Amino acid sequence: MKLVALILLLSSAGFTQEAKNPISNVLREMLPSRAKNTVGAIEEMPADKFNYKPTPEQMTFGHLAAHITDGNYFFCSNVGDVPRPKMEELQGTEGKDKLVAAVKASFDFCTTALAKADDSKLNDNITWFDGKPRARAWAFVALASSWADHYGAAAMYLRLNGLLPPSAQKAKTEEKKPEEKKK
């Protein structure tokens, strides 16, 4: 009976922690798959296509990689309430290897920053792009939406070059599995 009581007590402690930071926890849960797909998309594009842009008005794929890096540092530092590291500003012309490394590093930073995220700070003020104060909650929402937007853009660039983005490669592999069973 004491064992059952101890198990229930320990289980409830985990639920309390989960309930304490539900929004931060969702971002922490999203991060691994968003990082995997986004980094995978950047790696998938051939080096000679980093200057590709679908229309004259759009950014190059290399600039998209630099933009993803910058966005991750801005949003994750604000979500986690940690200083943004001093980095050289990327232009998107640095070449594939450097841009892939920069995107990976920005997601590594997000992992560290999000470990410190705390829902009790959602109403704290941060300085937004326009220099005006906003509630930290803006950074939480913008981070999740930027991950979706940036991966969607990278996926579009890949498809326009005849390449499948990582999430579609997985789906394509899963489609083949039933066919293999028939053989």
Range from 14-18, 151-155, 164-168 carrying the lowest mean pLDDT: 14-18
> What is residue 176's predicted lDDT score, i.e. its pLDDT?
65
Q: How confident is the model at residue 11 (pLDDT cuts 50, 70, 90)?
A: very low
CATH for 81: 1.20.120.450
Which pTM value belongs to this model? 0.84
* Assigned domain for 76 exists: yes
* Assigned domain for 171 exists: no
- The number of folded domains in the chain is 1
- For the record, the structure tokens of 73 come out as 């540092």
**Amino acid letter at 10?**
L
Range from 7-11, 79-83, 158-162, 172-176 carrying the lowest mean pLDDT: 7-11
* Assigned domain for 52 exists: yes
* Assigned domain for 14 exists: no
Cα–Cα separations (whole angstroms), residue 175 to 27, 31, 40: 29, 26, 20
Provide the mean pLDDT of the chain: 89
* Assigned domain for 176 exists: no
* Assigned domain for 121 exists: yes
* Assigned domain for 69 exists: yes
- For the record, the structure tokens of 1 come out as 């009976």
Looking at residues 23-50, what average pLDDT do you find? 98
Range of the domain at 113: 20-163
Q: How confident is the model at residue 16 (pLDDT cuts 50, 70, 90)?
A: very low
* Assigned domain for 174 exists: no
